[in-house]
Structure 1
Amino acid sequence: MLPVAYRVGMLAAALSSHYDGQFIGIMLTASHNALPDNGVKLVAPTGEMLPSSWEHVAEVVANCPMDELETELAKHFGAIGKCSVVVGMDTRPSGPALREMVMKGVRKLGGEVVEIGVVTTPELHTAVARLNREPHTVSQLEDDYIVGLASAFQPVVGVHNKVKIVVDCANGVGALKVQKLKKKMAKTGYELIVVNGGEAELNHNCGADYVKTGNCPPHGDYKPDAVTHFASLDGDADRLVYFTFTDAGTFQLIDGDRMSALIAMAIKKLLQKSGLADSITMGVVQTAYANGGSTEFIEKTLGIPIVCTPTGVKHLHKAASGFDIGIYFEANGHGTVLFSENATKTLRTTRNEHSELLLAVSRLANQLVGDGIADMLLVEAMLKITKQSLKDWAALYKDRPSCLIKTVVKDRTKLKTTDADRSITEPAGLQTEIDRITACVRGGRAFARPSGTEDVVRIFSEATTAEDAAKLAADISAVIAGYGI
């Protein structure tokens, strides 16, 4: 990883030069992955994800021989001018060494480096956007982030509430930020209680990914009652899931699909009460992996349009920006709510109680990227607005049983899809066979898509029962095998 980090430092400097010297962000994290892993994320000057058009250049630079690196960069960027890079990292022990290599790479091209220390990934994104608007000290960046969340939260929920939020911080950087946020939220009556706060291994038996994939609570002792909520962040705090327990003590996951449903319900209510339902468009963005129960609830019960995109946050984020208020969450808990310029302008000029609440929500939701801590406060605000308990929320709709498997193929590139990966165009005839099999299953829905990284095809299925969903996926796998791809 060290040679890669050096190359990425040089790439970030070159990108900054391309963007007229604006700050480019580098985040050192492997998110929900195990402690020994680490990685590098690049952030655009806007604070959003770097445009996908740069992905090929990044791949070439990452694999370029060291003695050819400057020549390769010159091919894509020409002469390097003023360049500025802001660097953050999570709590992994490999972070400091990677940071040093990144900075060496930036300085090799004469770039300025701003280190902001140990931060969440969303905090780094926010810092990039703010530094490109006006100068900030490092301490100001963190203070503005924390204070901004607290000051947007209080107008929505008021004061003197009695709610405890037990936050599983995955033994990661989120714990540091939640502890600081806790001090700013005292007046609201929301008490943040940190568990898995760094005393054990990062993401081990804890964190949003562990809770979601294992369908079980994180390490710790959780005692449910009417005023206690349970949330899990991942290692770099850009994902969030909630969980609760039935009266019988059975664990219940509340994932990103349910966050979309809750937030959509609350925002629609506020739009209607503000008199702006016809002036501001809203919609929800999902992928084909979203549970069919959530899709039906949002479309049919709430009457809110849904757009389906290919897998990948960049696709969801782009589609959400097509609405005045666009809501997107992957089932894994990564997502946010985007407010357009038209939406915020309309809300400011309307000036009634409910439009003011929506403005506060727009400040609470991270407008750049999915933010687990901001989303946690957003969820709590939505629960307050809709007067829902966690059990009410969990019962909004019933999940349809599903199954996700993968089947090994010789060449995944021979399988082509369309319609947000929901339909296969090549090999010819394969989709017709999948449709025929699926039509024979009660409540059946299924699709198959090639992996982006390995020679496997991922098969997702839903049905009325778990057994039927599993059989449907297995039958589709057998059909794909028959095509010899």
Structure 2
Amino acid sequence: MGRLFGTDGVRGVANADLTAELALGLSVAAAHVLAEAGTFEGHRPTAVVGRDPRASGEFLEAAVVAGLASAGVDVLRVGVLPTPAVAYLTGALGADIGVMLSASHNAMPDNGVKFFARGGHKLADELEDRIETVYEQHRTGEPWARPTGAGVGRVSDYVEGFDRYVAHLIGVLPNRLDGLKVVLDEAHGAAAHVSPEAFARAGAEVVTIGAEPDGLNINDGCGSTHLALLRAAVVEHGADLGIAHDGDADRCLAVDGDGEEIDGDQILAVLALAMREAGQLRKDTVVGTVMSNLGFKIAMEREGIQLVQTAVGDRYVLESMKAEGYALGGEQSGHVIVLDHATTGDGTLTGLMLAARVAATGRTLADLAGVMQRLPQVLVNVPDVDKSRVGTSPELAAAVAEAERELGATGRVLLRQSGTEPLVRVMVEAADIEQARAVAGRLADVVKSALG
């Protein structure tokens, strides 16, 4: 069996790759593994279960709840809420397990299962590996230990989760947003109600798009992966800024008042300076990934802020932050972690903090984001190839070496396999956009021929 867990839980086409049986079995396995690890410490365990609005989330939620309850875990269903809300509530309620059903920015047919440990933290790799092992043992015939009678888990709805999470968001803001007009693109996803409510309570005038989820339209031409609608809406409404989330709202991209995109690196730069000014940027350090734009690194060095870079994936950013005590980190894609207030990327919190900086300074978002200059960066996704060989192909290694010689000190090349999709990502950065495109195109062709 190939590894089920990717960089962000177990993900696949719902009812094909990710079936009700798999979701139920993984949930039971997670309960057993965490019990063996001493997580429950002799008390009756509790789990928080949430989902995004995908239609498949309805049957997958039922399967997860059934699996947990059958393993003796009491379940609090919080309904449709963002991933960071489930993580927050897992910690705030003292629950032993958190489960989020979402495929994030993926198209509607996909779904996923993400587990959180006590405190709202993602599971360590070794626990995920153990869950897979226990699941496979059961699937091939080894029976579960099953409680009976009063030992089975009880299931209830925790309707207070929405207000408790919104109150948390408002409570950590450094200042109100009065006087700002903000357009929110909710991707017809999990934050469709939470994010507008939080911004409105914080004092902003709110315009929403992509906030009518019907179970089928999540991420469909909107949200953080499709910014055209948001850019047009910001200009049309004369808004100060726009905020875009993905399906489970663990990421945030922005648009300034002129309709120009503000990516995750720029958001990190703005927040890093704000947090340092407030004395909250521990060790004057921000954590990014190897995908961080070179312009971001240059800007941080100029401002006296150290940039620590990790492998791609918010879990690796978080691991570095926790290990070294850093307060801020994130990815160019908009996963931003403010560790004092969240255990995972939180798109709504990020958007609120960005808007709060605009309100506090009286400066435009474009002006604030101007602290860094993005160097041209071209990203090409190459699907339907053997992504596992991206680091071992001699032909590909030779092509990368040639590209690096051509770019010299003014650019760089990065090839990596996607952790959630069957493709290889080719990234080329150069001082000239046409050169970056040309090099990226050549490398993409080599990836197809060498790994296809």
Do the structures match in fold with TM over 0.5? yes
Is structure 2 residue 370 aligned with structure 1 residue 395? yes
- Quote the residue 2:74 is aligned against: none
1:145 alignment counterpart: 165
Kept in 1: contact 2:335–2:345 (CA 8 A): yes
Aligned equivalents of 2:117 and 2:370: distance in 1?
A: 39
Match of 1:205 among 221, 239, 242: 221
Secondary structure at the aligned position of 2:317 is classed as: helix
Partner of 1:256: 264
Equivalent position to 2:404, from 427, 433, 438: 438
Say what the alpha-carbon RMSD is for the aligned residues. 3.4
Distance 1:115 1:57, change over 3 A: farther
The worse-fitting range, judged by mean Cα deviation, of 373-382 and 171-180 is 171-180
What SS is found at the alignment partner of 1:267?
A: helix
Find out whether 1:462 has 2:437 as its counterpart.
Answer: no
Aligned equivalent of 1:3: 21
Residue 168 of structure 1 pairs with residue 169 of structure 2: no
Q: 1:225–1:409: structure 2 CA closer, same or farther, 3 Å change rule?
A: closer
User: How is 1:360-371 mapped onto 2 (pairs within 5 angstroms)?
Assistant: 365-366=341-342, 368-371=343-346
Q: Deviations over 1:245-302 (max 9, x none)?
A: 53xxxx411111111100111122222xxxx98xx41311111111111121112x21
Contact 2:189 2:213 in 1 (8 A): no
- List gaps (5 residues or longer) in structure 1: 72-78, 82-106, 117-137, 340-364, 417-425
Distance (whole Å) between structure 1 residues aligned to residue 271 and residue 210 of structure 2: 27
Q: How does 1:79-158 map to 2 (within 5 A)?
A: 110-116=151-157, 138-153=158-173, 156-158=174-176
Pairing 1:33-432 to 2, within 5 Å after superposition: 33-61=106-134, 66=139, 68=141, 70=143, 110-116=151-157, 138-153=158-173, 156-158=174-176, 161-182=178-199, 184-185=201-202, 189-198=203-212, 201-211=217-227, 216-218=228-230, 221-223=233-235, 228-246=240-258, 251-271=259-279, 280-299=282-301, 301-339=302-340, 365-366=341-342, 368-406=343-381, 412-416=387-391
Quote the Cα distance in structure 2 between the aligned partners of 1:451 and 1:413.
Answer: 10
Alpha-carbon deviation of 1:460? 1.3
**Counterpart position of 2:105:** 32
For 2:220 and 2:422, locate their aligned partners in 1 and report how far apart those are by CA, in whole Å. 28
Question: Which of 1 and 2 has greater Rg?
Answer: 1
- Given that 1:438 and 1:472 are in contact with CA atoms closer than 8 Å, whether structure 2 keeps it comes out as no
Does the aligned pair in 2 maintain the 1:166–1:231 contact within 8 Å?
yes
| 1:329 counterpart letter in structure 2 | G
For structure 2, list consecutive stretches of 5 or more residues without a partner in the other structure.
Answer: 1-18, 46-95
State TM-score, norm by structure 2.
Answer: 0.72
Q: CA deviation at 1:13?
A: 2.2
Cα 1:62–1:460, aligned 2, differ >3 Å: closer, same or farther?
A: farther
Deviations for 1:418-466, whole angstroms, at most 9, x for unmatched residues?
xxxxxxxx56797676345323326221122344577754321111222
Q: For 1:31-85, what per-residue CA distance to the aligned partner results, in whole angstroms no more than 9, with x for missing partners?
A: 22223322211111121111111222333455566462536xxxxxxx688xxxx
Q: Which AA in structure 2 matches 1:392? A: D
Instruction: Name the SS for the 1:150 alignment partner.
Output: helix
- Distance of 2:380 and 2:351 partners within structure 1: 30
The 3-state SS of whatever aligns with 1:399 is coil
| Contact persistence 2:267–2:354 (CA under 8 A) | yes
Q: Secondary structure at the match of 1:469?
A: helix
By how many angstroms is 1:144 displaced?
2.4
Task: Measure the CA separation in 2 of the matches of 1:294 and 1:109.
Answer: 56
Q: Report the CA distance shift for 1:222/1:48 in structure 2 as closer, same or farther (over 3 A).
A: same
| 8 A Cα contact 1:447 1:459, kept in partner | yes
Partner deviation per Cα, 1:113-145 (whole Å, 9 max, x = no partner):
5555xxxxxxxxxxxxxxxxxxxxx24443322
Secondary structure of residue in 1 paired with 2:235: coil
AA matched with 2:165: Y
Paired residues of 1:12 and 1:25 also in contact (CA < 8 A): no
Give the 3-state SS of the residue equivalent to 1:238 in structure 2. coil
CA distance in 2, matches of 1:227, 1:195: 13
Matched-pair contact (CA < 8 Å) for 1:26–1:43: yes
Does the 8 Å CA contact 1:444/1:464 hold for their aligned counterparts? yes
SS in 2 for 1:39: strand
The CA deviation at 1:479 is: 6.4
Asked whether the 8 Å contact 1:266–1:385 carries over to 2, the reply is no
In the superposition, the TM-score normalised over structure 1's length comes to 0.68
Larger mean Cα displacement after TM superposition, 470-479 or 20-29:
470-479
